[in-house]
Amino acid sequence: MADDKDVLRDVWFGRIPTCFTLNQDEVTEREAEPYYLLLPRVSYLPLVTDKVKKHFLKVMKAEDVEEMWLEYEGTPLKWHYPIGVLFDLHASNTVLPWSITVHFKFFCPLVAKKLQYRDLLHCTSNSVIEAHFMSSIKEADALKHKSQVVNDMQKKDHKQLWMGLQNDKFDQFWAINRKLMEYPTEEGGFRYIPFRIYQTMSDRPFIQKLFRPVSPEGNVHTLGDLLKEMYPAALPNDGEQKRYQVVIHGIEPLLETPLQWLSEHLSHPDNFLHICVIPTPTD
Amino acid sequence: MPVSLLWAVDVYGRVYSLSTAGQQWEQCRDAQMEFKRVTAAQQCCWGIACDNNIYLNVHASDLPVRYQEETYENQRWNPVDGFSDRLLPSDRWQLSDVTGLQHQPLDNFRLPSSSWEWEGDWYVDENFEGEPTEKEGWSYAIDFPATYTKDKKWNSCVRRRRWLRYRRYKAMDTWAKIPSQQTTLPDPFSDISCGGWEINEEPRGRLSLWAVSLQGKVWFREGIYHHNPEGSLWEEVPLPGEVVQISCGPGDLVWAVLWEGQLIVREGIGRDCPKGTSWAMVDSPSPDVGATHVAVGVNVVWALTKDNKVWFRRGVNSHNPCGSGWISMVGEMIMINVGLNDQVLAIGSEDRAVYFRQGVTSSELSGKTWKVISVPRDGDRSHSSASAHSLQSAGCYFCGEVRAQSLVTKVRSAGPAVLEEETIPLEGEVKAPDVGVSLSPSQSVGPLDPQWSNVDLEEAQGQQAQTGAVVDTADTSSLSSVATFTLAMEDPYGVDEHPMWAWVSGGGCSVDSHTQLNWFNSMVQSVQSMSLSVTPAQTAAWRKQIFEQLSERTKREMDNFRHYEQAIEQSVWVKKGTMQWWRDWKPHKWIDVHFALEQFSGPEGNKDGILFIYYNFYEEKKYLHAFVNEVTILVPVLNDSKHSFAIYTPERTKQRWPIRLSAATELEMHDWLALLSVSCCDSRGIQGPPSKQAIWSITCKGDIFVSEPSLSLEAMPYPTPCDQMFWRQVGGHLRVVECNSIGIVWGIGYDHTAWVYTGGYGGGFFQGLASSTDNIYTQVDVKNVYIYENQRWNPVTGYTNRGLPTDRYMWSDASGLHECTKTNMKPPSPHWTWVSDWTIDYSVSGGTDKEGWQYAADFPASYHGHKTMKDFVRRRRWARKCKLTTTGPWQEVPPIPLSDVTILPCAAQSSVDVVPLWAISNKGDVLCRLGVTALTPAGSSWLHVGTDQPFKSISIGAASQVWAIARDGSAFYRGSVSSQSPAGDCWYHIPSPSKQKLKQVSVGRTSVYTVDENGNLWYRQGVTPSYPQGSSWEHISNNVRKVSAGPLDQVWIIADKVQGSHSLSCGTVCHRLGVQPLEPKGQSWDYGIGGGWDHITVRGNSMEPPRVHLPSLTERTPLPVRNTEINSSAVGC
């Protein structure tokens, strides 16, 4: 059987084929060709869309260009969610490639009203993403090891994590990240599992609470245990049709999968286990 | 950790044992009668039965207990009869001991007890000092007593020969009565305690056994060791009072309790005097209440007083066996015992349950809490079988009685009875000053005033105990535990519902603070595991699901879109750091450098990289670089202060001058090594575990390396040069490694522990990606560090540490050139930590006197173990143990420590075929492992193969030819080894090359190679299938340390003194070139990685090289291009 390490590689090298098209309302000098790209699931949009920006700027006048932002079927895509989460949440079960609309102006009134729109504005540079990414890692380590591991690291280790993500260097990233995934054997897991449960049906951004990988009686908690406590509606009732899919990295792990294992192997580089609960498609 | 046993006796006198891996008490069925007490060691258990006799239960092990009886037959020549047994009146007996003083006819030898049997009849020993004698085993001399030779000379007037007979101890695993002596003992025994095995390792298996008789006398059993497990006689030990109970620890501690309630401590116990010399008195912990019981370990003493209080003695060690003060502990016990590693066991006074002291470590000897051992007994039908049964099968669950269910809850509730306890505050101890100086009985509790604190503590303790009890009942849903207690009070011995224990002994029970025990709450656990835990099949299901879905995802999201552009371009990645470099030019020294690794993807997507070392050369910035794909090895280097490693390329190997770097911290070095190693493996496309054909080697630091042999490694005439072999490290620490071509790999640690390879990779500093997830285990190794104390004699003061000005350091290493004192000596590298204090080492070759001194005329000279008139200097060796803990793909094979191992090299037909594996124990016994297959490489058990003398090296060839080397340096061939008879039938003595003592042997497909103690490599000539012993030894090379012959008859060695262009190296891997079926000795050497190598095995490489057709015109095989100028003897220089 394949080694658990292969899962880390598969997770890291997950790619979403994407087709970028320019919004109809943008003023262009000539028609803009769509742009095709393989986006890393574990990365963030601003880190991987430089090429897209360059491509469309070629057909636009400089005075028409404000900041670039992206939208999928009317939903603005938040820059601080991992790309895979955005895709699973909004576009799973659709036809590939994923079709993203590129905007350079903020004149869409529908979007402007939404509060989260402000998030988009603030991503002015990669250093903002870096700060966000590092704070996620620190938050995750606070849950996992009372911040002991991340605080023991040197500045250059932190940098290496970020550079690993930015440059898509799996080995570089994991050389440091493995330390964040360690735990004392006698405890059977982290202190708490860093997770976020996303849903499309609610305004609440995500669910995040304290949850231990092992019960006080010493039983291993599973994905099912987590959902039962955090989001019971996501679980199918007996005999009922499955209403929701529980998706992590585009796959649906079995509910009896141990949570600790998931946290070690299917977490994003920010060290959080991002779980998307989406309605089962009604074909 | 090997499985070992805890022994106990219940109140009915039934003896039980509990395995460290077990979950229930097993009754010792063969005990014919009830026992009162037991005392255990690892190899045996002693007991007093109700007939007041002492019984011994020797645990069957793979090594039988055999005793060699010998007697000498002496003859004198006379002109009439030639040699005959008609001796002169002044001569010795016809049959005598070796000195000739004792008359020893063959029929005088009797079995010592009914527990012994003869193995066979008397036979003549035909070996003489490692050489076979002429028929009948005679050796000759001019007269008695004189020097004997094996050859008869013109002046040989007397001759003698040795008769041998073995007897075997047969009463294994049963209770055998120790025969009472002729001199009848005055009264029956009432207490017994064994220990003392750490005082002296010689003779092997030595034990001290102390016994107390009903009249309060103490007896010491003389002469107990491995070959004489019953001991020989009882000796009375004079006493200052009447003893009621005695306890002997593994080391030199012996304490006893007197009738009056004081304690006595045996003093003067040591190597040469296991019985000790005198007693010192220690007062009872409590002034009003006398002591009733004492238990000692290596560095601890625990005691009980009449009121069942528990006490811990502070400050006890070998130098101060009396300790310094008592500390009161929580709990009420009626019996207490200290097992191995100073772990503590006790029997509760109330519930008669066995308690284990949790949290006892070498730094916290008093432990943390008492935890009840709550496992059922094998006889407890109502407890275990019924309830477990009803739970195990769901079908029976409903038809099973309700009773079974309720019993389960009962046991569950008894489970978590842990008496919580705070750390004992120091003020709480009762000080007893000036303890143990004299036998004055009037000593009382010291005049200091810890009175208040003592009282205070007791109160606090009472409260604690109460709260403990409350907590206990609170979380145990009350009913059952209350019921248990009332039952116990009404009729303490009537109910058999839960075991009532009378005695426990942990002397054979190897547990430490890390051991995972299943002794607590076992029922709760088993209930849980049956109902809730995930079965392996389900585990596979969720994991399988994830693997499947991920590959589906790849197909869905990526396979059709491969032509899309990647969002992030691959770029060069540089990792930089600072290090120190051992500069190439003279004077060599460490200089600060910048170090960088640049990694990039090659044209075909393969990764590659370059190493840069930036340095300053006379103010000028310069750099040195190496391509990652040219690096052949990264070797951690042994250095007691620097964290250094060496980088070799083929060029650097030829120079014998690697790039030596040192990092600032161990962590930094490990990070770099792990990174560089991954980078090197990536550039060569190597990943995962080593192949079955892999070549394994070990450096003098104990690091393990593997190399994947190329197909052309053994090719003729152009093999892969062995300096181009790429070696990667595998976690773990070993001294010897041996493998075969189906992937069975065994290793032996410096402490002689046997290890089997688990199939994993990585471990050690390889973490995360460079290491396999499973199959990596903790590995511990222990070795000795030696220093020498040197003294010179002068007429005034005798031997002193004042030497001549020209003398060596008074504390030095073996050479005397470096000063090594007890305080400045460091462990070999920062990974090692000291685990013992400095002790005198008596096991030095040449022998020592009673204080460990060896004498010589002057430094440096050959030393001997006794002082003569001509000796003016002396030295003695001090040893200190240090320990290393690491991880690697190795699992321990308990329990016998080994010194050599060999595995049949060629491929088995299937994975279940049994593979012959032979080994030598560190005592020199020859062993044959049963049940070794590719699936079960650890095998099942050892089969002992009898020999007349201890062995040191062994090797089995592809056709099951077994060769071995005895400790006296002679060789032996084992006859008739086959799959039907895996152990063969007898040893054939093979004379060693003249005047040489052999030390190691390796047998390939047909060739047999040996190495002698002077570093000569020998090839056995004339070996044919019909005459497998061969005819003579042929010298091949000198300066050889070790040889490994493989299944293709390939020959690899570790050579000393290989000259490179920059430096000389010792411990170099060399490959014999030109080995062919018609020229099995080969022609010359090719030099590979080194120095600093200690061991290599090529016995896994059975890949036949591709055949090259040579032009028929060539009469002789052309010599390889490289090293043509070097012939076989050029290894030396």
pLDDT tens digits, B589-614: 889 999 988 887 655 556 778 888 88
- pLDDT recorded at residue A20: 92
Q: Which residue has the higher pLDDT, B467 or B480?
A: B467
CA distance A167 to chain B (A): 7
Contacts of B514 in chain A (CB under 8 A): none
CA distance B563 to chain A (A): 9
**Contact in structure between B883 and B782 (CB atoms under 8 Å):** yes
- pLDDT recorded at residue B61: 77
Q: Position B1032: which residue type?
A: S
Query: In this structure, what are the phi and psi dihedrals at residue B508, rounded to the nearest 5 degrees?
Result: -110, 5
Q: pLDDT at residue A83 above 90?
A: yes
**Contact in structure between A192 and A152 (CB atoms under 8 Å):** no
Contacts of B628 in chain A (CB under 8 A): none
Average pLDDT over residues B830-846: 84
Q: Give the torsion through C-alpha atoms of B919, B925, B931, B934, to 10 deg.
A: -10
Q: B558, A17: Cβ pair inside 8 Å? A: yes
- pLDDT recorded at residue B450: 35
Cβ-proximal residues to A218 (8 Å cutoff; 6+ apart), any chain? A188, B528
Q: pLDDT at residue B413 above 70?
A: no
DSSP code of B103? B
Average pLDDT over residues B526-541: 43
Q: Which residue has the higher pLDDT, B28 or B186?
A: B28
- Residue B283 CA to residue B268 CA, distance in Å, equals 20
Query: What does R_g of chain B's alpha carbons equal in angstroms?
Result: 34
Contacts of B528 in chain A (CB under 8 A): 217-219
Average pLDDT over residues A209-234: 89
Arithmetic mean of pLDDT over chain A: 84
Among B182-186, B301-305, B574-578, B666-670, which is the least confidently predicted range? Answer: B182-186
The A residues from 177 to 216 touching B (CB cutoff 8 Å) are 177-178
**Contact in structure between B325 and B429 (CB atoms under 8 Å):** yes
Q: pLDDT at residue B771 above 80?
A: no
pLDDT band at residue A119 under the 50/70/90 scheme: low
Q: pLDDT at residue B752 above 60?
A: yes
Query: In this structure, what are the phi and psi dihedrals at residue B730, rounded to the nearest 5 degrees?
Result: -120, 140
- With CA atoms as reference, the chain B residue closest to A48 would be B567
- The pLDDT tens digits for B108-129 are 888 888 889 998 889 888 877 7
- pLDDT recorded at residue B505: 92
Write out chain A in H/E/C secondary structure.
CCCHHHHHHHHHCCEEEEEEEECCCCCCCCCCCCEEEEEECCCCHHHHCHHHHHHHHCCCCHHHCCCCEEEECCEECCCCCCHHHHHHHHCCCCCCCEEEEEECCCCCHHHHHCCCHHHHHHCCCHHHHHHHHHHHHHHHHHHHHCCHHHHHCCHHHHHHHHHHHHCCCHHHHHHHHHHHCCCCHHHCCCCCCCEEEEECCCCCCEECCCCCCECCCCCECEHHHHHHHHCHHHCCCCCCCCCEEEEECCECCCCCCEHHHHHHHCCCCCCCEEEEEEECCCC
- pLDDT recorded at residue B1044: 94
Q: Position B56: which residue type?
A: L
Judge if pTM exceeds 0.95: no
- pLDDT recorded at residue B634: 92
Arithmetic mean of pLDDT over chain B: 79
Among A178-182, B1-5, B322-326, B378-382, which is the least confidently predicted range? Answer: B378-382
Q: Which residue has the higher pLDDT, B1012 or B913?
A: B1012
Q: Does A20 touch chain B (CB under 8 A)?
A: no
- Residue B920 CA to residue B508 CA, distance in Å, equals 24
The B residues from 660 to 679 touching A (CB cutoff 8 Å) are 671, 674-675, 678
Q: Which residue has the higher pLDDT, A140 or A23?
A: A140
The long-range contacts involving B437-442, CB below 8 angstroms and separated by at least 24 positions, are B437/B280, B438/B280, B438/B281, B439/B240, B439/B279, B439/B280, B439/B281, B440/B281, B441/B260, B441/B262, B441/B281
- pLDDT recorded at residue B398: 34
Q: B573, A167: Cβ pair inside 8 Å? A: yes
**Contact in structure between B501 and B347 (CB atoms under 8 Å):** yes
- Residue A139 CA to residue A44 CA, distance in Å, equals 18
pLDDT band at residue B799 under the 50/70/90 scheme: confident
Q: pLDDT at residue B755 above 60?
A: yes
Between CA A32 and CA A37, with CA A35 as vertex, the angle to 5 degrees is 170
Q: Does B537 touch chain A (CB under 8 A)?
A: no
pLDDT band at residue B521 under the 50/70/90 scheme: low
Q: Which residue has the higher pLDDT, B847 or B902?
A: B902
CA distance B546 to chain A (A): 6
- Residue B485 CA to residue B410 CA, distance in Å, equals 12
- pLDDT recorded at residue B483: 30
Average pLDDT over residues B924-944: 89
> Which H helix or E strand runs over B552?
helix B536-557
DSSP code of B759? S
Q: Does B558 touch chain A (CB under 8 A)?
A: yes
- The pLDDT tens digits for B496-516 are 467 889 999 998 888 876 666
- Closest by alpha carbon to B10, among B45, B35, B29, B46? B35
pLDDT band at residue A82 under the 50/70/90 scheme: very high
Q: Position A61: which residue type?
A: K
- pLDDT recorded at residue B747: 95
Q: Which residue has the higher pLDDT, B1123 or A13?
A: A13
pLDDT band at residue B397 under the 50/70/90 scheme: very low
Query: What does R_g of chain A's alpha carbons equal in angstroms?
Result: 20
- The pLDDT tens digits for A55-76 are 888 888 777 777 788 888 888 8
Reading the block at residue B169, the tokens are 């101890």
Cβ-proximal residues to A237 (8 Å cutoff; 6+ apart), any chain? none
DSSP code of B384? I
Q: Which residue has the higher pLDDT, B529 or B367?
A: B367
Average pLDDT over residues B987-1014: 90
Average pLDDT over residues B785-808: 80
pLDDT band at residue B37 under the 50/70/90 scheme: very high
- Closest by alpha carbon to B266, among B292, B234, B243? B243
Contacts of A96 in chain B (CB under 8 A): 556-557, 560-561
- pLDDT recorded at residue A110: 53
- pLDDT recorded at residue B1002: 94
Among A49-63, B393-407, B826-840, which is the least confidently predicted range? Answer: B393-407
Question: Would you tell me how many other CB atoms lie within 10 Å of the CB of residue A125?
Answer: 10
Q: pLDDT at residue B858 above 50?
A: yes
Question: Would you tell me how many other CB atoms lie within 10 Å of the CB of residue B893?
Answer: 22
DSSP code of B654? H
- Residue A24 CA to residue B172 CA, distance in Å, equals 93
- The pLDDT tens digits for B179-193 are 776 555 667 888 999
- With CA atoms as reference, the chain A residue closest to B572 would be A167
Q: A5, B552: Cβ pair inside 8 Å? A: no
Q: pLDDT at residue B384 above 70?
A: no
Substitution target in B527, B568, B679 with the highest count of A β-carbons within 10 Å is B568
Paired strand residues for A277: A199, A246
Q: Give the torsion through C-alpha atoms of B376, B380, B385, B387, to 10 deg.
A: -80
Average pLDDT over residues B25-29: 83
Cβ-proximal residues to B213 (8 Å cutoff; 6+ apart), any chain? B185, B186, B187, B188, B189, B190, B219
Contacts of B570 in chain A (CB under 8 A): 168
- The pLDDT tens digits for B868-897 are 777 888 888 999 999 998 889 999 998 889
- pLDDT recorded at residue B737: 95
Contacts of B532 in chain A (CB under 8 A): 219
Looking at this predicted complex, what is its ipTM?
A: 0.90
- With CA atoms as reference, the chain A residue closest to B543 would be A257
- pLDDT recorded at residue A249: 93
Residue B1011 CB burial class (10 angstroms; 0-12, 13-18, ≥19)? buried
Contacts of B778 in chain A (CB under 8 A): none
Q: Does B567 touch chain A (CB under 8 A)?
A: yes
Q: pLDDT at residue B1133 above 50?
A: no
Q: A6, B554: Cβ pair inside 8 Å? A: no
End-to-end Cα, chain B, rounded Å:
46
CA distance A22 to chain B (A): 18
Question: Would you tell me how many other CB atoms lie within 10 Å of the CB of residue A203?
Answer: 7
Query: In this structure, what are the phi and psi dihedrals at residue A110, rounded to the nearest 5 degrees?
Result: -60, -45
CA A34 to chain centre: 24
Write out B74-91 in H/E/C secondary structure.
EEEEECCCEEECCCCCCC
Inter-chain contacts counted by CB atoms under 8 A, chains A and B: 125
Reading the block at residue B655, the tokens are 């120079």
